[in-house]
A and B are shown apart, each in its own frame.
Chain A
Amino acid sequence: MNEKSLVSAADLTKVYGSGSSAVRAVDNVTMKVSSGELVLIMGPSGSGKTTLLSMLGGLLKPTSGHIFINGVEITTLSESLLPDVRAREIGFIFQAFNLLSSLNAEENVLFPAGLVSGGSRKARQRGLDLLERLGLSHRKHFLPKNLSGGEKQRVAIARALINNPKLILADEPTGNLDSRTGHEVMMILHDIAREEGRTVIIVTHDPRLEDVADRILWLEDGRLTNRKEEAHLWVRDPVCGMRVDQWTATYLATWQGARYFFCSQRCLERFQAQPAQYLKQAASGQ
């Protein structure tokens, strides 16, 4: 194992089902990610990206292979020890935000701090600092249902950082955000890696994140492969104008016989509400 690697996986395989119905979601993946590195895992839908991320986060046991985080092999840890690893060493950021609906923003941020011994002592001030830094001080007493998508994701980021983890795992962190908010979140993740030296691994379809990534791992049929540049076909999201890879895009709609591709669920929904208006705007270059 590389001494500088914070995360490394060796011969990682995950098989769902058995016999003739067995599916190799992740197939013999070996990878290393260093401290302070921002790495994207990209690839077509169903290529095994989320399964790989789940295993790296200790949320899913691999069928075979080994994962080391900060020098400790988590694949051999018992179920009773894994939660502490997740609480201390890993911060999670999700596409659907996954805030706890009954807790307000501040309580959501502080929640993981209460799960580690001694974590809650200085956590309150740190939580307030994080909310301040992410521009959410004035919203700290709001329940998630009263926050915008961008605010929810910033709360989720603060929550991921509260225990000072060395590793941040993010699954489509900009997937449910409009282009402006998505860009904000992208820059926050960039700062987390650059300024704080944390390792950030992001599963995404969002090509904007490529601009801030140190490395891109391309996953296809469960295997890490070279990225097929020629397979990309860049189109514009008719709602926000963002560049979208037609080949890997998750959000798409057909209207009047033509197919359109979107950067996020939000843009897709906006388009579906008023397709003619957005196509007219796109045609006029607005």
Chain B
Amino acid sequence: MWTLPRCSSGSPMMRLAFKNLLHEPVRLLISTGGVAAALFLVLLLEGVFEGTSQQLVTYLEKSDADVWVMQKGVSNMHMATSVLPMRVQESLAAMPEVQSATPILYASLPVQIQDRRWLSYVVGVRPGEKRGGPWAMAEGATSPKPGEAVVSNVMAKKAGVGLGDSVHILSREVKVVGLSQETFSMANSITFVSYSDMEDILATPAAASYFLVKARPGVLPDVLSERVRQAVPGVNAMTREQFVASDRTMAQQMGTDLISVMTAIGYMVGVAIIGLTIYTATVSRAREYGVVKALGTRNSQLMALVALQALAISVLGSLVATALAYLTSPMLKVLVPEIPLVYSMASLIRLVLIAIAIAALASLLPAYRVARVEPAIVFKE
């Protein structure tokens, strides 16, 4: 008596699936290349977004502060304003858990270099104070005195200025005495001036935007931030990790819609390419699929074959896209240094998962087509 055939694609179907793909190398190359190009653009877009998001919080990460103290109700640096009276510093210094509290003045301001204006995070730091200042230098002085500024080396290069040249922050002219690294992205740059200059620019004497608090050894940042909130009225205190996470979330929320639309377009292009490739391959092999049906292949096995082919193209395309992303990364960093590019593991894992989803989606129409092939087609000349 006859038994039910195996439902799995089995080895002959797998062999046929891969042999069919390899039998038409040009078609395979074009489809894989197309999918790889679409996914590479998605990866690039996400990499730029991730890099920009990271760049936005680099200052916070490099601040060497265990806890950030800010005006109550404020929980960000990006797109936020915080003003605290200088007496907060005394309150902080009086706490036994606090080793030091360094004030900075901060505002997002235009920096004019020759005829061009650059939006920059301008940070006022006290002369000689390392905490809150530039952390990596390309050239020149680290700590600006009154009338001086440390600007991003990338911005300086793009603007055509160097050490000793003048720039304007609002109406105040300052001389470039240092060029910092890792302080420039598409979204912003960081410029360091002296604290007193920043007080004049903002017209906020005896005030600070944030205090960068260092905990005494053995004191956990979580505990310290909680203690500060309890002990000092009118302030908010966050650990550096919390502050970084908060700013990163804000940056991502601001760009998420745009990035989502762009990546969705990229993925849809991928679906279209794979779908079209597999569909045309299916149509061109309709007679052969009729033959394998006549020989005893079930519809479910043929649909699995089509899905397997789509999956192969999709995974191959995502691997090529990943390789392209990593191979072009060093070149892009040289050619367009203002575009920070970071490929996160989450982004790569998401790409692979989406590639699988793309394959499933792209194989729907071809699977429907192959299921409708009549096995009796084999007797037609």
- A107 touches B (CB below 8 Å): yes
Q: Which B residues are in CB contact (< 8 Å) with A110? A: 12
Q: Which residues of A approach B to under 8 Å, CB–CB? A: 50, 53-54, 57, 59-60, 72, 79-81, 83-89, 92, 94-96, 98, 100-103, 107, 110-117, 120, 159, 171
Q: 19 more A-B contacts (CB under 8 A) besides A102-B16, A112-B296?
A: A72-B2, A81-B4, A83-B293, A83-B297, A84-B296, A86-B294, A94-B291, A95-B381, A102-B20, A103-B15, A107-B15, A111-B292, A111-B295, A115-B6, A115-B10, A115-B297, A116-B5, A117-B6, A120-B11
Q: Which residues of A contact B16 (CB under 8 A)?
A: 100, 102-103, 111
A114 in contact with B10 (CB, 8 Å): yes
Q: Among the listed B1, B11, B295, which residue makes an inter-chain contact with A87, where contact means beta carbons less than 8 Å apart?
A: B295
Report the Cα distance A84→B295, complex, angstroms: 9
Known A-B contacts A59-B294, A83-B298, A84-B3; A111 and B376 likewise in contact (beta carbons under 8 Å): no
Residues of chain B lying within 8 A (CB to CB) of residue A95: 381
Count of inter-chain pairs, beta carbons less than 8 A: 100
**Contact residue among A57, A88, A103 (Cβ-Cβ distance under 8 Å from B2):** A88
**Given the complex of chains A and B, what is the CA–CA distance between A150 and B122 in angstroms?**
84
Number of interface residues of B (CB under 8 A): 34
Instruction: Point out the residue from B4, B12, B23 that lies within 8 Å of A102, measured CB to CB.
Output: B23
Judge whether A59 and B296 touch: CB under 8 Å. Answer: no
CA distance A79 to B12 in the complex (A): 21
Set of chain A residues within 8 Å of B13, measured between Cβ atoms:
114
Query: Which of the listed residues B2, B288, B293, B378 has the most CB atoms from chain A within 10 Å of its own CB?
Result: B2
Q: Tell whether B350 is near chain A: CB-to-CB under 8 Å.
A: no
List of 3 A-B pairs having minimum Cβ-Cβ separation, nearest first: A87-B296, A114-B12, A102-B23
**How many whole Å from A206's CB to the nearest CB in chain B?**
15
* Bound Cα distance from A80 to B4, whole angstroms: 8
Q: Which residues of B contact A98 (CB under 8 A)?
A: 287-288, 291, 378
Contacts of A87 in B (CB 8 A): 5, 295-297
User: How far is A157 from B293 in the complex, measured between Cα atoms in Å?
Assistant: 17
* Structural contact, B10 and A86, CB atoms closer than 8 A: no
Known: A114-B11, A114-B12, A115-B12. A92 touches B3 (CB 8 A): no
Distance of A53 Cα from B16 Cα, bound (Å): 27
A16 to B287, CA, bound (A): 21
Q: How far is the CB of B267 from chain A (nearest CB, A)?
A: 30
Q: CA A92 – CA B294 in complex, angstroms?
A: 8
In the complex the two chains form, what is the Cα distance from A278 to B72 in whole Å? 104
**B250-297 interface (Cβ within 8 A of A):** 287-288, 291-297
Distance (whole angstroms) from the CB of B374 to the closest CB of chain A: 8
Asked if B170 lies at the interface with its beta carbon under 8 angstroms from chain A, I say no
Interface string of B142-157 (1 = CB under 8 A from A): 0000000000000000
15 residue pairs of the A-B complex, CB under 8 angstroms, read A57-B294, A59-B376, A83-B293, A84-B5, A85-B296, A86-B375, A87-B297, A94-B291, A100-B291, A100-B292, A101-B288, A115-B10, A115-B295, A116-B5, A117-B6
B19 at the interface (CB under 8 A from A): yes
Cβ of B5 and Cβ of A83 under 8 Å apart?
yes
Residues B1-59 near A (CB distance < 8 A): 1-6, 10-13, 15-16, 19-20, 22-23
Contact of B296 among A102, A115, A171 (CB under 8 A): A115
Instruction: Evaluate contact between A103 and B5: CB separation under 8 angstroms.
Output: no
Query: Is A112 in contact with B295, judged by CB distance below 8 angstroms?
Result: yes
Instruction: Decide: A100 and B2 in contact? CB cutoff 8 A.
Output: no
Q: In whole Å, how far is A86's beta carbon from the nearest beta carbon of chain B?
A: 4
Is the Cβ of A92 less than 8 Å from the Cβ of B295? yes
A50 / chain B contacts, CB cutoff of 8 Å: 379
Bound together, the chains give a CA A86 to CA B292 distance in angstroms of: 10
Q: Bound complex: CA of A50 vs CA of B375, how far in Å?
A: 13
Find out whether the CB atom of A85 lies under 8 angstroms from the CB atom of B295. no
Q: Which residues of A contact B376 (CB under 8 A)?
A: 54, 59-60
- Measured in the bound complex, the distance between the Cα atoms of B297 and A111 in whole Å is 10
Contacting residues, chain B, for A86 (C-beta < 8 A): 294-296, 375
Interfacial chain B residues near A81, Cβ < 8 Å: 2, 4
CA distance in complex: A86, B298 (Å): 10
| Chain A residues, Cβ within 8 Å of B378 | 59, 92, 94, 98
